[in-house]
Amino acid sequence: MSLRFALLAVLSSRPRTGYDLLQIFDSSVDSVWHAPHTQIYPELRRMEADGLLAAEEVPRGPNSTKRAYTITDGGRDELRRQASEAVPPLREKDPYRLKAAYMEWASADGAREQFVLHLAHYTAWYERWRGRVEALRSREDPVLRERLAAQPPELHDEIVAVKVFAYEGLMARARMEIEWAERGLELVERFKGPGTTTAFDHAA
Amino acid sequence: MSLRFALLAVLSSRPRTGYDLLQIFDSSVDSVWHAPHTQIYPELRRMEADGLLAAEEVPRGPNSTKRAYTITDGGRDELRRQASEAVPPLREKDPYRLKAAYMEWASADGAREQFVLHLAHYTAWYERWRGRVEALRSREDPVLRERLAAQPPELHDEIVAVKVFAYEGLMARARMEIEWAERGLELVERFKGPGTTTAFDHAA
DNA sequence: TGTCCCATGTAACTCGTTACATGATTGT
DNA sequence: ACAATCATGTAACGAGTTACATGGGACA
């Protein structure tokens, strides 16, 4: 249901096409969630069928149209409902920690490479999320501006604050992952450096 | 593939039945991964068909048998392969941060309840993981003992160290989630306390 | 006339969850 | 006898990924 929630949330500020949503999700701005077009387009159709969205064919050049989706009152109700319904957190399923727990089976190079990738990944995302927080605080982000324009001024501080809070949560996660990967690299050097043996080497 | 990896890893110390694995995954010890029996039993059958496991019908009472699975040489190769192959980290999909980013749509009670659940969840798991680290460090954990018994003594330190490292990563995650949820509760009081308005109230 | 970018789909497949089922064994 | 636990499945469904496709518009 997260995809549906995210779509409703983005469409609550103004109508957009599937392609618009794809850009927002996948590349530029809203780096909390993502989805490929193969998931977005069918979901928009289903949401329209469920009465959460209304679609309009708008012209595009002389011989073509595109579908713009507008949130309906029912869609806004559903957005409020999903935002307000507390869902119990899921049990952890953590593939990184799982893999680390059985690192004795890994080659030195494989283990090292995994942590190098981990470090690079979360370092890059940390920077990206930091940029988002700045764009939100300064209220220069274009998607945020459209959102604020669609809501009364007395809500603006809350809207900005909760988004900053969300991205700061992602930044905290990234910092944790970076520190963990650095400790991982130390472990690799300690146990898989020259002159050591590991379960990996006990081949049949 | 994480389930398959986890099954291979657990079976690498000694043969077990599907039910044994279920206990290890779902309740008692190995709290890094979990899976219901409806996923474990068919996966074991597939792994047997793929030559990673060998099954043996062992008697159970007078009129019944159970299937015990043993890892094969091919299974050990696959375990080494998966442990050694660096996989690029996945893009973030974070339903908690997503929901928080659009908290302006939530009722005060719904938002508060969500963070209370979050806090309770990660507090409980923090304690659980801390207990696991203790059981690993003292080498009193029965599953760990079987694992060490199956591997030469010069590997014991590495085996314990990587498991402690994995659980400490989970603990770091839990600490981060706890701090974040506490900040979330402060935000709820600030913006959804008495005398405030929120997008939730702007009903149609 | 080609090459991006805009714009939208279907189909097959994997992973995971939930619901529905069944039967034997062990201990009280 | 009954209950708890041991033991193992099938089926339907939803979410998400990857592969396969198609066609118009804008600009050089």
For the stretch A10-27, pLDDT in tens is 999 999 999 999 999 876
**Confidence at A114, pLDDT banded by 50, 70, 90:** very high
Q: Which two tokens stand for residue B30?
A: 């190995």
For residue B46, what pLDDT is reported? 97
Q: Which two tokens stand for residue A122?
A: 């979360």
Nucleotides of C under 7 A from a protein CB: 6-11, 15-20, 24-26
Interface test with B, best of A97, A176, A186 (most B CBs within 10 A): A97
- The residue whose two tokens read 């792994």 is B47
Note whether A167 contacts B: Cβ–Cβ < 8 A.
yes
Q: What is the pTM of this model?
A: 0.94
Which nucleotide shows the minimum CA-to-C1' distance to residue A61?
Answer: D25
Verify if strand D has an atom below 7 Å from the CB of A39: yes
Candidate from B89, B91, B96 with C-beta closest to A118: B89
Q: What is the DSSP letter of A66?
A: E
Residue B16 is inside which H or E element, if any? Answer: strand B16-17
Name the CA dihedral angle for A147, A149, A150, A156, rounded to a multiple of 10 degrees: 70
Q: Are B155 and A198 in contact (CB under 8 A)?
A: yes
B145: helix, strand or coil: helix
Q: Are B5 and A98 in contact (CB under 8 A)?
A: yes
Residue type, B183: R
User: By CA distance, what is B78's nearest residue in A?
Assistant: A105
* Cβ atoms within 10 Å, residue A73: 11
pLDDT digits (tens, 9 = 90+) for A63-113: 999 999 999 999 999 999 999 999 999 988 999 999 999 999 999 999 999
Phi, psi of A158 (to 5 degrees): -65, -45
CA gap A167, A171 in Å, rounded: 6
* C5 C1' to A72 CA distance, Å: 30
Q: Which two tokens stand for residue A88?
A: 């119990």
CA gap B42, B38 in Å, rounded: 7
pLDDT in tens for each of the 204 residues of chain B? 899 999 999 999 999 999 999 999 876 656 789 999 999 999 999 999 999 999 999 999 889 999 999 999 999 999 999 999 999 999 889 999 999 999 999 999 999 999 999 999 999 999 999 999 999 999 999 999 999 999 999 999 999 999 999 999 999 999 999 999 999 999 999 998 888 878 888 764
Q: Are B55 and B16 in contact (CB under 8 A)?
A: no
Here the contacts of A126-131 (C-beta below 8 Å, separation 24 or greater) are A126/A171, A126/A174, A126/A175, A126/A178, A128/A31, A129/A31, A129/A167, A129/A170, A129/A171, A129/A174, A130/A171
Note whether A121 contacts B: Cβ–Cβ < 8 A.
yes
Here the contacts of A58-62 (C-beta below 8 Å, separation 24 or greater) are A58/A17
State which residue has its Cα closest to the C1' atom of C24: B64
Residue B96 is inside which H or E element, if any? Answer: helix B95-101
Q: Look at B105 and A125 and tell me if their CB atoms are within 8 Å.
A: no
Q: Which residues of B touch A116 (CB under 8 A)?
A: 86
pLDDT digits (tens, 9 = 90+) for A120-168: 999 999 999 999 999 999 999 999 999 999 999 999 999 999 999 999 9
Note whether A32 contacts B: Cβ–Cβ < 8 A.
yes
CA gap B38, A139 in Å, rounded: 49
Q: How many helices (H) and strands (E) does chain A have?
A: 8, 3
pLDDT digits (tens, 9 = 90+) for A125-136: 999 999 999 999
- What is Dmax (Cα atoms) for chain A? 71
Q: Which residues of A touch B86 (CB under 8 A)?
A: 110, 113-114, 116-117
CA gap B25, B19 in Å, rounded: 10
Candidate from A99, A114, A169 with C-beta closest to B180: A169
End-to-end CA distance of chain A: 46
Q: Among residues of chain A, what percentage have pLDDT more than 90? A: 86
For residue A81, what pLDDT is reported? 97
A67: helix, strand or coil: strand
Q: Which two tokens stand for residue A119?
A: 């470090």
Candidate from A76, A93, A110 with C-beta closest to B204: A76
Could you give the residue ranges of the DSSP H alpha helices within A138-155? 142-149
Candidate from A110, A154, A162 with C-beta closest to B84: A110
Residue type, B66: K
CA gap B29, B25 in Å, rounded: 7
Q: What is the DSSP letter of B18?
A: H
